[in-house]
Amino acid sequence: MDFNFSEEQRMMAGALRELAADLSSGERLRAIYDGTDSADRQRWDALAELGLFSVLAPQGSGGMSLTDSDFILLAEEAGHAALPVPLCEQAGVAVPLLAELAGGAADSGTAAALAEALQAAASGASRVAVAHPINPFTLAPADPTHWLVCNADTVRLLEAREVKAVPEPTADAGRLLYRLEAPLQQHGVTVRGAAAAAAAARAAQRGALYAAAQSVGVAQRLTDIAVSYACERVQFGKPIGAYQAIKHHLANVQVKLEFARPVVYAAATRVADPDAGAQAAVSHAALAAAAAADLAARTAIQVHGAMGYSWEVDLHFYMKRAWALAGSWGAHSFHARRIQALVCGGELTLGPGQTFE
Amino acid sequence: MPLDLTFTPQQQALRAEVRAWMTAHVPRTPLATLEGEAGFAQHRQWERTLASGNWGMITWPREYGGRGANLIEWLIFEEEYYRANAPLRVNQNGIFLLGPTLMEFGTAQQKARFLPRMAAGEEIWAQAWSEPQAGSDLAGIRATAQREGDQYVLRGHKIWSSRAAFADWCFGIFRTDPASGRHNGLTFMLVPLRQPGVRVRGIRQIHGEPGFAEIFFEEARVPVANRLGEEGQGWHIAMATAGFERGLMLRSPARFQAAAQRLAHLWRSHATQADPALAAQVAQAWMDAEAYALNTYRTASRLMAGGTIGVEASLNKIFWSELDLQLHGTAMRLLGAHAALRAQAPDVVQDAGWLEGYIFSLAGPIYAGTNEIQRNVIAERLLGLPRG
């Protein structure tokens, strides 16, 4: 039992923070929001160069063979930066999904195709969108090369030209969402049956986990911005952060945030398990992190006053990311209903000593 | 291994050992409330039973009545303790607050004198911090300790002193330098309550029992050997004690996990008539108890790796006190007309103690430093906001 992250895990997160400060600076986010950015490929390649897409891929596929516990801090950093690249969907969802499907494929043709797709995704050579019934809209990288389309008991790998996707512009310009047109053409590589269903379920678990980690990151960013503003802005002769009304709002955010963090980290250690405990852990992470991000966003804009309501202050980029994350991979209602069923329905063993069971 | 959330075989063996012992020893019928005289005596007896199994305070070194256990092992012990529905710890002021403080600041003689009797439940401790004019503003303390030879003479009035009505000893801070003000000139003293010059008057709490007391020091004498640390070091030591109180040990997560489990059972027995929205509150109580447990394991891991607990203690205190209130408030709403029935009422929901639990939870945001003070501490010392 050791809840500490290793030096390597923290260093990897630190490297992403440094890179993201540049790739996802306020200036660059502003350009994306204003439609004057053209650096999508440059950002993608920079993340690929750091090896970030390959963290969860097996060594044989050019990956680092690391675990969700190793990726979780990276996802947090992606949220902290409001990274305008779907790093978590590619590296945290698509890559492990492809690895699982390739490992369990029944015929050699399918296995080879999936292995090839895995290698390409892990290196960043391909850009994969993962469509899942839990998401009415699919987050895709700019100019995607492939789509992984999950359904109840099939997962299909398609090339981008085999998919008709309708853009759905959202408040967060750093995330490109699409609605897939149904029915899909009968193309691509398809995995069916129990293996596909299990893999699709795990993909949704990972999607929700990494959305939660990003929410924690964005909540921390919003809090940092609000604290720094409260130290600078002077009213009635004092920085507004000297007043208890402001202090208590910000302290409440910090409490929520600090108690969401370990929930997210613990969920990372069991996200791949198919049991009720893992489902509860992920839904708990999703709800706690979204609640922290929501409170952080509302507090940050209140602390900023009218300034926070203006386009020219960066605050809204992070607030919009918090909204976007709250609606992805099972929004509030999905996770709240799932956890209520588990806790109130008696399916989950409750009580002391069950936390890690 | 980093972020490894599994128990070792030794840890699992400890769990099995605690479980077996608790199964054999926890009283079958709940004890009377420890806020009253009869219940206090029963709880004192339970402490002796615990000590007979060497379970008094397992994290302490063996020489002081402990088992040299680490914090993860302590959490396992606590989980099994609450799983067995064992009685509340009447000596928590001693084992969880003064004990760690003595470990850090006490002399070898003080440790040898006080710790084993604390672990054995032979001496029960009360706190003596607040005064009528010094509550949240604790630095306004006026009670004095005047040095006379190898003794101190104590004068003053302490109040809201938990457990003091029936305890044997108290610890608190007194002004040793009469010219001093605020945080300076204060000294940490260990004082026998049953001695000439000390008058204890119980104060009935809203549940009707004397859960705390006021203490009048009328030229009570204590030997210099009962001074913890140096003269003038009292504030510093008291803040360390307060850190232990808000931090890791006072409210172990298992307590809330056990209560959340009971709440889920309560929901199931009321689900057909209950407001469906209360299901969300039940789930929230479970989640918050789990979050508190996870954060406690995280803190324990950090401390075991050489870290310290500082301002984070204030985050903990706010979280567990609000969680307790939310949890018990949900139970009260679920119980409806049954909620206000006292334990002796014929139609009370048996063995639940929801009313007592709810009343106790109301105190959480107040004691150990009000949550408003904790928010100031978080804002100023963790977030770095300017002082008011």
Band of pLDDT at residue B363, cut at 50, 70 and 90: very high
Question: Quick check: A182 contacting B, CB < 8 Å?
Answer: no
Residue A298: which CATH number? 1.20.140.10
Which residues from chain A sit within 8 angstroms of residue B69, using beta carbons?
Answer: none
A319 lies in which domain range? 195-345
pLDDT for res A185: 62
Please indicate, yes or no, if residue A19 is contained in any of the structural domains: no
Touching B: A residues 43-102, CB under 8 Å:
69
pLDDT by residue (tens digit) across A202-255? 999 999 999 999 999 999 999 999 999 999 999 999 999 999 999 999 999 999
Last residue of a domain, one of B183, B203, B232: B232
pLDDT one-digit tens code per residue, A33-89: 999 999 999 999 999 999 999 999 999 999 999 999 999 999 999 999 999 999 999
Q: Region B222-238: what's the mean pLDDT?
A: 96
CA distance A106 to chain B (A): 33
Q: Within a domain: residue A243?
A: yes
HEC profile for chain A?
CECCCCHHHHHHHHHHHHHHHHHCCHHHHHHHHHCCCCCHHHHHHHHHHCCHHHCCCCHHHCCCCCCHHHHHHHHHHHHHCCCCCCHHHHHHHHHHHHHHHHHHCCCHHHHHHHHHHHHHHHHCCCCEEEECCCCCCEEECCCCCEEEEECCCEEEEEEHHHCCEEECCCCCCCCEEEEECCCCCCCCEEEEHHHHHHHHHHHHHHHHHHHHHHHHHHHHHHHHHHHHHHHHCEECCEEHHHCHHHHHHHHHHHHHHHHHHHHHHHHHCCCCCCCHHHHHHHHHHHHHHHHHHHHHHHHHHHHHHHHHHCCCCCHHHHHHHHHHHHCCCCCHHHHHHHHHHHHHHCCCCCCCCCCCC
Give the nearest partner residue to A352 out of B72, B83, B282, using CB atoms: B83
Q: Which of A1, A4, A350 sits opposite B286 (nearest CB)?
A: A350
pLDDT for the residue B348: 87
Chain B residues with CB-CB distance to A340 below 8 A = 279-280, 282-283
Of B183, B199, B232, the domain-final residue: B232
Pair (B172, B146) in one structural domain = yes
- Per-residue pLDDT averaged across B164-172, rounded? 96
pLDDT score for A10: 96
> What digits encode the pLDDT tens for the residues B283-335?
999 999 999 999 999 999 999 999 888 889 999 999 999 999 999 999 999 99
- Is residue B115, in this structure, part of any structural domain at all? no
Whether A277 and chain B come into contact, CB under 8 Å, resolves to no
CA-nearest residue to A343 within chain B is B283
Give yes or no for residue B246 having a pLDDT over 70: no
Give the closest-approach CA distance of B269 to chain A in angstroms: 10
Domain annotation covers residue B2:
no
CA gap A260, A213 in Å, rounded: 9
Which residues on chain A are in Cβ contact (under 8 Å) with B375? 244, 247-248, 251-252
Residues of A in Cβ contact (< 8 Å) with B382: 254
Q: How confident is the model at residue B210 (pLDDT cuts 50, 70, 90)?
A: confident
Residues B191, B307: one domain? no
Q: What distance in Å separates the CA atoms of residue A184 and residue A192, rounded to the nearest whole number?
A: 16
pLDDT in tens, A263-316: 999 999 999 999 999 999 999 999 999 999 999 999 999 999 999 999 999 999
**Assigned domain for B109 exists:** no
Does B363 lie in the same domain as B253? yes
Both B147 and B176 in a single domain?
A: yes
Q: Which of B188, B205, B232 is the last residue of a domain?
A: B232
Q: What is the pLDDT of residues A104-122, one digit of tens each?
A: 887 889 999 999 999 999 9
- Kindly determine whether residue B79 and residue A266, on different chains, have CB atoms separated by under 8 Å: no
Residues 245-274, chain B, touching A (beta carbon < 8 A): 253-254, 257-258, 260-261, 264, 267-268, 271
Cross-chain Cβ contact A350/B268 below 8 Å: no
Rounded to two decimals, the ipTM of the complex is 0.96
The CA distance from A319 to A302, in Å, is 12
Domain containing residue B55: 9-90
Per-residue pLDDT, A319: 98
Provide the CATH number for the domain around residue B192. 2.40.110.10
Say yes or no: B155 and B272 in one domain: no
Q: Are B60 and B157 found together in one domain? A: no
Q: What is the pLDDT of residue A187?
A: 81
Domain assignment of residue A25, yes or no: no
Domain count for chain B: 3
Same domain, B256 and B377: yes
> Which residues of A are less than 8 Å from B387 in CB distance?
242
Catalytic residue check, B245: yes
* Domain membership flag for residue A154: no
pLDDT value at residue B388? 81
Specify if A303 maps to a domain.
yes
In a domain, A102, yes or no: no
Query: B225 and B255: one domain?
Result: no
Mark whether B291 and B202 lie in a shared domain. Answer: no
A161-172 tens-digit pLDDT: 999 999 999 999
Q: Is residue A221 part of a domain?
A: yes
Over 90: is that where the pLDDT of B209 sits? no
Q: What is the reported pLDDT for B241? A: 82
Name the pLDDT band for B207 (thresholds 50, 70, 90). Answer: confident
pLDDT of residue A106: 79
Total tally of structural domains belonging to chain A: 1
| Residue B76 contacts A, CB cutoff 8 Å | yes
pLDDT at residue B58, rounded to an integer: 95
pLDDT band at A183 (very low <50, low <70, confident <90, very high): low
Interval A77-106: pLDDT, tens: 999 999 999 999 999 999 999 999 998 887
Check whether B248 has a pLDDT greater than 80: no
pLDDT of residue B10: 97
Contact A238 B282 (CB under 8 A): no
- The pLDDT, as a whole number, for residue B1 is 60
